[in-house]
Structure 1
Amino acid sequence: MSRRERLLATGLPRVLGHADFEAQNLRWQDGRLWTVHDWDSLAWQPEAALVGAASGMFAGSGQPTLAPIESSQAFLAAYQEARGRAFTGEEREVAWAASLWTAAHNARYEALYGHTPVSGDAVRAQAAERLRRANA
């Protein structure tokens, strides 16, 4: 099963959320998230998909790349703790599949326009493990 097939196979309910959770779109005050910019990036997806996508991109502040797997794992754990409920097995799989969304898009852009393959290299290095966690 591919990443796309895994995401399409879910029957999880959809929510409206922000789908471009890169560092440059976030502002913090006193150690707490204060505001989120770039609201033209709304998506109607399962909560786990939005959170998973954020876990893959939240650290990006320069040329976009993919967060290290350990950072994505920590992001997902912190999110679940803050919401007071652990993800189900299906939600975990969807989150890991979605963690590749933005990096795959950015890798395509790098290849098309001859940019340094920062996201492309990260996807090549991490995709197998992220897809294993996604059961895809």
Structure 2
Amino acid sequence: MFRSGYLSAVLGLRLADGREVVVKVRPDSKRIAACVEVQRRLFQAGYPCPRPLTGAAPFGGDVATAEAYVPGGALLPSADHAAEAFAEAFARLIRLAPRPGEVSTLDPAPSWAAWNHTGDGLWPRPEEDPDVNLNEVAGQAWIDDAGRRARDRLRDSESEAVIGHCDWLAGNLRWSANALLVVHDWDSMTAESEAVLVGFAAALYSTYSTVSVDELATVEDTERFLDVYCQARGRDFSASELQRSWAAGVWTRAYDAKYQHAIGKAITSLTENEARERLRRTGADTRRP
């Protein structure tokens, strides 16, 4: 029916018995089996995600999975309810997901979420382009500065890990009015502190834009997401947790900005002024050394 994909080859197939399925093929990784199990558990709990039809199966040197095809849906909810819709959907996912100890390893985290990677340097190797070493790319010192300050704040404290989706982009969700129809990209599951996962989501989701669905959340949009998320979970984050949420958002947006700079693209994920404003909310000193 279709072929697409970025980090994976994604094929929509109609089987001989009439079923419509999606098959994903990507480089083998031990974390894929855990991602499928999380997806299966969430589907069984009633969360709107495609039903997994297989586990992680060897496919040449790669690994393949299959899931039910869920067509349709809009890219964005209604304009006035974007923050509420995205935040409440994320809170429900966190609430229903299994605990990290109930599935096999989800390590290593995707590169845009790997602020605590074990490699050398500030930046991990880009999952989408592993031959690029971001730590050897000169220029745009403000991006490195933002990423370093955010990472240092994230290292200041930690809390119990939960499982969540670390790529909460509009392109991975579909809506029926303001109701969530389906969430895609279940390879983006990771185990991390709740505040950090929420920080990623609050910085990456899209509000309604007539220009581009890829337009990321503004500082005000992120603030609204965090407020609604805390309402949905039934209790506020502590001041320290909230600062870590902001730091996580800075780190993932700075990582994307660094990669865009490294491959010669326009930097659209973050601006220097926005980085400074977001860092201010982390409690970090934003003055230049």
Specify whether residues 11 and 118 from structure 1 end up closer, same or farther in structure 2 by C-alpha distance, changes over 3 A only. closer
Distance 1:19 1:3 in 2: 17
Q: Which has the larger radius of gyration?
A: 2
Distance 2:240 2:187 in 1: 28
Query: Aligned partner of 1:124: which letter?
Result: E
Specify whether residues 125 and 64 from structure 1 end up closer, same or farther in structure 2 by C-alpha distance, changes over 3 A only. farther
The counterpart of 2:202, out of the listed 50, 55, 58, is 55
> Is the CA contact 1:66–1:103 (under 8 Å) kept in the aligned structure 2?
no
> Is the CA contact 1:64–1:103 (under 8 Å) kept in the aligned structure 2?
no
Specify whether residues 103 and 63 from structure 1 end up closer, same or farther in structure 2 by C-alpha distance, changes over 3 A only. farther
1:9 aligned partner = 156
Count of residue pairs the alignment pairs up:
134
1:35 matches 2:215: no
Gaps of 5+ in 1: none
Ranked by relative contact order (alpha carbons within 8 Å, sequence separation 6 or more), the top structure is: 1
1:70 aligned partner = 220
Give the secondary structure class of the aligned counterpart of 1:2. helix
Specify whether residues 2 and 101 from structure 1 end up closer, same or farther in structure 2 by C-alpha distance, changes over 3 A only. closer
> Is the CA contact 2:170–2:214 (under 8 Å) kept in the aligned structure 1?
no
Report percent identity of matched pairs.
41
Distance 2:240 2:182 in 1: 30
TM-score by length of 2: 0.43
TM-score by length of 1: 0.88
Query: How many angstroms does 1:35 deviate by?
Result: 2.2
Distance 2:251 2:182 in 1: 23
Query: Aligned partner of 1:59: which letter?
Result: S
Equivalences for residues 1-136 of structure 1 within 5 A? 2-59=149-206, 66-119=216-269, 122-136=270-284
Runs of 4+ in 1 over 4 A off after TM superposition: 60-66
Q: CA RMSD in A?
A: 2.0
Query: How many angstroms does 1:98 deviate by?
Result: 0.7
Gaps of 5+ in 2: 1-147, 285-289
> Is the CA contact 2:195–2:245 (under 8 Å) kept in the aligned structure 1?
yes
Query: How many angstroms does 1:109 deviate by?
Result: 1.5
Query: How many angstroms does 1:31 deviate by?
Result: 1.1
Greater mean deviation of Cα atoms: 17-26 or 63-72:
63-72
Query: How many angstroms does 1:113 deviate by?
Result: 1.0
Query: Aligned partner of 1:53: which letter?
Result: F
Query: How many angstroms does 1:29 deviate by?
Result: 2.5
Greater mean deviation of Cα atoms: 32-41 or 81-90:
32-41
Specify whether residues 103 and 114 from structure 1 end up closer, same or farther in structure 2 by C-alpha distance, changes over 3 A only. same
Query: How many angstroms does 1:106 deviate by?
Result: 1.3
Distance 2:213 2:165 in 1: 20
Distance 2:265 2:156 in 1: 33
> Is the CA contact 1:65–1:106 (under 8 Å) kept in the aligned structure 2?
no
Bigger proportion of residues as helix: 1
